[in-house]
Amino acid sequence: MCKKNLLKSLENNSIFMTSELNKILNKELKSGNKIKEIWKGKWGKENILFILLEKPFKTTVQKNLKEISFNNINDRHYWKDEYYDKKNHILLACSFEK
């Protein structure tokens, strides 16, 4: 699925996201963060939906969510932080400040 179709699917909620991960993404977008990259495909052993925001997370980090882990990656080759939905294999990551 191309980026344009993935973005449209996100807007129409036709890509399943857990309500908590969806809330985090919506709060980030409302606070001015933007989707920089999105793709669906193989990551390690899993097929995942990957969403990268163009700035660091602007909203308060949530670390105690059921089925969702938060990790501080802090590797400029990849990204700064991420939420990973273990059940649905969705990775929401944020970039470093430019």
Domain ranges of the chain: 3-94
User: Average pLDDT of 65-74?
Assistant: 94
Instruction: Report which residue type is found at 26.
Output: N
Query: pTM for the full model?
Result: 0.84
The Cα–Cα gap between 35 and 96 comes to 13
Shortest CA distance to 94 belongs to which of 21, 28, 26, 27?
Answer: 28
First to last CA, the chain: 29
Taking only the tens place, the pLDDT of each residue in 31-49 is 999 999 999 899 888 899 9
User: Average pLDDT of 54-77?
Assistant: 95
pLDDT over 60 (residue 69): yes
User: Average pLDDT of 18-22?
Assistant: 82
| Residues facing residue 41 across a β-bridge | 48
Task: Mark out the alpha helices in the chain (DSSP H runs).
Answer: 3-11, 19-30
The token duo for 93 is 């990551």
- So what's the pLDDT on residue 63? 92
